[in-house]
Structure 1
Amino acid sequence: MLKRKFSCLFPKPQDFDPLLIESKTAATVVLMLSSPEEEVLAKACDALYKFASKGDENKATLLGLGAVEQLYKLISHEDPTVRGNAVMVLGIMASNYDVKKLLRELDVTDSLISHLVPEEDVVIHEFATLCLAYLAVEYTTKVQIFERGGLEPLIRLLGSPDPDVQKNSVECIYLLVQDFQSRAAVHELNIIPPLLELLKSEYPVIQLLALKTLEVISKDGEMRIMLGENKGLDCLLTILETDEFSDLHVEALAVLGNCLEDVHTLQLIQQSGGLKKLLSFVRESTIPDIQKNAAKAITKAAYDLENRNILNEEEVEKCLINLLETDNDGVKVAASQAISAMCANLASKRAFGLQGIPQLVQLLSSDNEEVKEAAVAVLVNLTAASPSNASAVAEAEGIEPLLNTLHAQRDGAIANAATVLTNLAMQEPLRVNIQNRGIMSVLAEPLRSTNSQVQSKAAFAVAVFGCDADARTELRSAGGLGPLVKLLHSKNEEVRRNACWAVMTCASDELTAGELCRLGALDVLEEINLSKCRKNNFSEAALEKLLDNNLSQKYSQMGYLSSNNIITDGFYDCGQVSYFK
């Protein structure tokens, strides 16, 4: 383990000269573990420790010789030196997978926990916690350590004067709190103060493990409150402000990210000037993990209305737009997601519209499909009920990239691209512009998708753009009517409703109505309208529109025509024929 200044810690010296052995005599030394003499036992254990330290192969050798079972008995020996040396060997051997498996079968957990008492020597504390840390990687052992009261002594040992004990204890706790039972229990055990104290350690690995543990437990609201009460937020901000701690910045930011979810905590950080410092730190950082974690933290915070207002006051928009311009795709995705969340604030939505739309449009042409999907998702939120932002997308030459995104590999990107285009189409000039670029022929493929979200959004886009005769002709020529009719059979209510809407729009001329009838739309719509649970506002209107533009079919089925049905092909009704006897 290295200090902050990179000086080394070595295993504790023993009070006897070690017995030197070679691997060929390992079996002999294992036999010595049965000796009744305490000095022989102590020296044999020390020799085995040296032997096992040389590598995993030696650990496996000792396992095969039955050393683990013998050592397990000796860790409860009445002589403290024997006991300590036996624990040392088991502690270092526990890194071996097969040894861990055997230790679980032997159920060493109780015995190891019993050695964590203040009366035991620091060497026993060190290697008992090391062994527990190796074992706690496995879920069932986590549960055992918790159920057998291991959490409390481990937390107490965070205050040990020995850095190795601290390191092993905090590592074990970090593994334990991955389980919800331990996370719930540490609140009552007042874990925050000792963890914050470890952040002052001169050993980076201890600081890192303390931050990782804080990141896990700070997902709980009560723990975040305790963190604030113990001045933990100031401590985290100090780490971010200190260049010497640059290796801890990512983890410190992850803890702060959890804290930003609470309005009260965010207000505290803002009032102390910490939020301004945090955003400035993120803007100036060039480390992708820091930028990404910061964006994720903002995303989580922005789910709350008051948090969004606070972030807007601190001009978080500038920070996020700056992140869109980085070279890292992961950062671009995280920043896009944060912008999406912040769009729920109208002031932020306006700010992003003025400053961020050109960058987002550029991301639509990214080679990274995840980036493309994240960018188009932002544009959905930005253009919803915002004519100015919709116009800004068009001005940034975003229509063509959006049409290209309808061919994307990700279903989410396709569905969102269709939504943005329909948002733009609320303005007639933009609708005509999009239509003239051949959107109907492009939509034919998404209509064939097996994804219900894509189906729904594509059908809705057809309904929006199908009000023009040329657009209907284009869809008909592209073979899009067949897939549209198939969507009428969908079990998904939204898909079925939007498909009915699209059919109603497309049935506005005789040619398209006739083709839809030929493809079976009439029969499906009649079936839908007979069902109380499948019928919707558009299914009846779609059926009526189809019949109004196919009068022969309407008269055949209904037995009458409406006053607004104009016959243009010359057919007429002679009336009902009467037969007299």
Structure 2
Amino acid sequence: MQLIQETGGLRKLLAFTEVSTLTDFQKNAAKAIAKAAYDPENRKILNEQEVEKCLVTLLGTDNDGTKIAASQAIAAMCENLASKQTIGTLGIPQLVQLLSSDNEEVKEAAATALVNLTTAHPANASAVAEADGIEPLINLLSSKRDGVVASAATVLTNLATQEPLRLSIQSHGIMTAIVEPLHSTNSIVQSRAALTVAAVGCDADARTELRNSGGLDPLIKLLYSKHDEVRRNACWAVMVCAADDPTAAAMTRLGALDILEEINLSIGRKNNFSDAALDKILDHNLPQKYSQMGFLTSSNIITDGFYDFGQVKPGVKLLSLEELSAQQLNDRRAIILVNSKTPELELTAPPVATDEKSPQDFLSSRVTTSSSSTNRKISRERASSIEEKEKPESPGRSSSVSKGGGREKGSRKGKGKKEEEKPKEEEPEPVMPKIVEEVPLKALWYPPVDSILVDYITEVSKTILPLPTTKEQVVALAQFVAEKMGGPIETDKLHEFSWELHISEIEYELKCNVVPIGKINKGTFYHRALLFKVLADRIGVSCSLVRGEYTRAWNEVKLVDDSPLGIPGLLLPPQVYIVDLMYQPGNLMKEGSPEADRYGRI
């Protein structure tokens, strides 16, 4: 290359490529430049000769082979930053045009060039969007050529690092288009597609689109991949998408929780994102998280429908609250329920089946009623309403009510219009009883409402929430919880505190292992710590919940100490304190102190 440059041959070669009318000459010259450009020293020489202008010119020729070779040369030259900037300014519109070529190899070469142009270069990424490149790139995701799909997905990922471009990509239906690449059997396509989901899935609308278009199922299946990069990128995408309850719940139903636990137990398959993905999904399944991990952070807000099942080993999946409530009373430890939500009488569409909801989704997503007699009344009212609405319709018209019912029989294919209208008068009678039977209101189940907990929340909201400092709120709340659960206990008399008998009596009274927390008047460490966390979350006091061994549990709060005397306005970092709920309710013990250690151990 140096010899050719010194003798002027390189400049002459580049001049020939620009003025020659021989397509084979242009193609072979572009191939030569592409091969030479893979060497760093050659790239410097080519850049000095302004090879970028020549390559951009070759993109406009009529020969597909020349376009492919020029695109490949551009992809190689992009390793040189100066060349990347020059080509970005001159050639991006031409490369975007090639994305719509009829030749799949041309598309692949152009997309590969755009990958290298936009990697770590926001200006070039913006230039692709300005050249209307987003739509053709998304169209390439349905290509039958794996290289085209992989490169297109990577360019879109590079663009999505900028929020305005990400929103534009999302508006073009990227999450619907990415579903097909997620189903690919090619590991490179799988990996790039998962990375695109991770880049775009940080938006709630994008996650909803992915969920509705059936993209979660193939994404979760990628977690089983034997390819490390595919598995890592899939974990990354799951972590990003598990940012809201509906998506996290859907992924849990598809087995994401189980496979992530399995991955994290394997030294060879575990990766940087598998732990974070598991933690993110557990954040939307707090009963499972507390039972399995033994802690809830201050950001894990306990809501109605939460239950403390007790400690379980990793990989053990909890039964739903409804399933646990249906079990016969047994000698297992009580399951502590948190539910202050009173069912409201609503008229809504039939609910989704129970197994499609996580325990925390129960209360917000189901139809609520107060008694079986009310259910029957609602069924009659709804049936009457449906009958009135449906009367003017033609019998052949399908509706959500008619599926599986007598209405469907009235519509006969191949019959004349008069025959279809004939049975119109007779239809309401057979439809009526079927509608009443098919509305599944009697199958609804609700956790028992804890009216005592409702009173607790009302009381702390009135008396403790208005206190001026967090420290005062913590101390007052600790004293409140202790008072409701048996009062202070002397350390040497803890063994005399018969909380087990009290809990057993409640279970026997309810004929069930599920015990509402408000009914517990004698509670030990883990009952009090749970109630403290529940009430603290309701009044906005930040605290965590930690499970210890042998019925121990405690709450951790972060408080800022007063400034040392003589140094006004000094801001100190917050200290972590353990809250005493048993011996001296309201006493705050510094984390790691002998006093705090004794509180958490027998």
Distance (whole Å) between structure 1 residues aligned to residue 13 and residue 292 of structure 2 = 70
Q: CA deviation at 1:557?
A: 3.2
Q: CA deviation at 1:570?
A: 4.1
Distance (whole Å) between structure 2 residues aligned to residue 478 and residue 487 of structure 1 = 17
Distance (whole Å) between structure 2 residues aligned to residue 359 and residue 469 of structure 1 = 34
2:48 corresponds to 1:313: yes
Task: Choose from 443, 448, 466 the match for 2:183.
Answer: 448
Q: Which residue matches 2:247?
A: 512
2:121 corresponds to 1:386: yes
- Structure 2, unaligned stretches of length 5 or more? 311-332, 335-498, 505-602
Amino acid at match of 1:388: A
Cα distance, 1:552–1:296 mapped onto 2, change above 3 Å: same
Q: CA deviation at 1:556?
A: 4.0
Task: Choose from 141, 151, 163 the match for 1:406.
Answer: 141
Q: Which residue matches 2:108?
A: 373
Within 5 Å, give how 1:64-143 maps onto structure 2. none
Distance (whole Å) between structure 1 residues aligned to residue 248 and residue 239 of structure 2 = 9
Q: Which residue matches 2:130?
A: 395
Cα distance, 1:558–1:267 mapped onto 2, change above 3 Å: closer
Q: CA deviation at 1:443?
A: 0.7
Amino acid at match of 1:372: K
Task: Choose from 211, 214, 225 the match for 1:479.
Answer: 214
Distance (whole Å) between structure 2 residues aligned to residue 268 and residue 284 of structure 1 = 23
User: In proportion to residue count, which structure has more strand?
Assistant: 2
Cα distance, 1:336–1:579 mapped onto 2, change above 3 Å: same
- Checking the alignment, whether the CA contact within 8 Å between 2:291 and 2:308 is kept in structure 1 is no
Cα distance, 1:574–1:383 mapped onto 2, change above 3 Å: closer
- Checking the alignment, whether the CA contact within 8 Å between 2:287 and 2:307 is kept in structure 1 is no
2:418 corresponds to 1:418: no
Within 5 Å, give how 1:229-244 maps onto structure 2. none
Distance (whole Å) between structure 1 residues aligned to residue 36 and residue 157 of structure 2 = 30
Task: Choose from 69, 85, 106 the match for 1:334.
Answer: 69
Within 5 Å, give how 1:162-201 maps onto structure 2. none
Task: Choose from 60, 71, 74 the match for 1:325.
Answer: 60
SS at the partner of 1:365?
A: coil
Distance (whole Å) between structure 1 residues aligned to residue 192 and residue 165 of structure 2 = 18
Q: Which residue matches 1:53?
A: none
Amino acid at match of 2:79: A
Q: CA deviation at 1:561?
A: 2.8
Q: Which residue matches 1:351?
A: 86
Distance (whole Å) between structure 2 residues aligned to residue 517 and residue 412 of structure 1 = 32
Within 5 Å, give how 1:203-222 maps onto structure 2. none
Distance (whole Å) between structure 2 residues aligned to residue 403 and residue 482 of structure 1 = 21
Q: Which residue matches 1:469?
A: 204
Distance (whole Å) between structure 2 residues aligned to residue 313 and residue 547 of structure 1 = 56
Q: Which residue matches 2:2?
A: 267
**TM-score scaled by structure 2?**
0.51
Query: 1:219-251 deviations in whole A, cap 9, x for unaligned?
Result: xxxxxxxxxxxxxxxxxxxxxxxxxxxxxxxxx
Distance (whole Å) between structure 2 residues aligned to residue 476 and residue 326 of structure 1 = 43
Amino acid at match of 2:119: A
Amino acid at match of 1:313: E
Larger RCO (CA within 8 A; separation ≥ 6) = 2
Q: CA deviation at 1:489?
A: 0.3
Amino acid at match of 2:178: L
* Percent of aligned pairs sharing the same letter: 71
Amino acid at match of 2:61: T
Distance (whole Å) between structure 1 residues aligned to residue 293 and residue 5 of structure 2 = 70
Amino acid at match of 2:43: R
Query: 1:426-455 deviations in whole A, cap 9, x for unaligned?
Result: 111111111111111111111000000000
Task: Choose from 74, 78, 96 the match for 1:361.
Answer: 96
2:30 corresponds to 1:295: yes
SS at the partner of 1:378?
A: helix
Amino acid at match of 1:561: L
Cα distance, 1:519–1:574 mapped onto 2, change above 3 Å: closer
SS at the partner of 1:349?
A: helix
2:293 corresponds to 1:554: no
Q: CA deviation at 1:487?
A: 0.2
Distance (whole Å) between structure 2 residues aligned to residue 416 and residue 493 of structure 1 = 19
| Structure with max Cα Rg | 1
Q: Which residue matches 1:9?
A: none
Q: CA deviation at 1:554?
A: 2.0
Q: CA deviation at 1:409?
A: 1.8
Pairs aligned (count): 316
2:275 corresponds to 1:532: no
Query: 1:142-199 deviations in whole A, cap 9, x for unaligned?
Result: xxxxxxxxxxxxxxxxxxxxxxxxxxxxxxxxxxxxxxxxxxxxxxxxxxxxxxxxxx
Distance (whole Å) between structure 2 residues aligned to residue 387 and residue 347 of structure 1 = 15
Amino acid at match of 2:244: D
Distance (whole Å) between structure 1 residues aligned to residue 217 and residue 159 of structure 2 = 26
- Checking the alignment, whether the CA contact within 8 Å between 2:290 and 2:308 is kept in structure 1 is no
Q: CA deviation at 1:322?
A: 1.0
Please report the RMSD computed on the Cα atoms of aligned residues, expressed in angstroms: 1.6
Q: Which residue matches 1:543?
A: 278
Amino acid at match of 2:303: T
Q: Which residue matches 1:239?
A: none
SS at the partner of 1:326?
A: coil
Amino acid at match of 1:323: L
Amino acid at match of 1:442: A
User: In proportion to residue count, which structure has more helix?
Assistant: 1
Distance (whole Å) between structure 1 residues aligned to residue 260 and residue 82 of structure 2 = 45
Q: CA deviation at 1:574?
A: 9.2
Distance (whole Å) between structure 1 residues aligned to residue 298 and residue 307 of structure 2 = 14
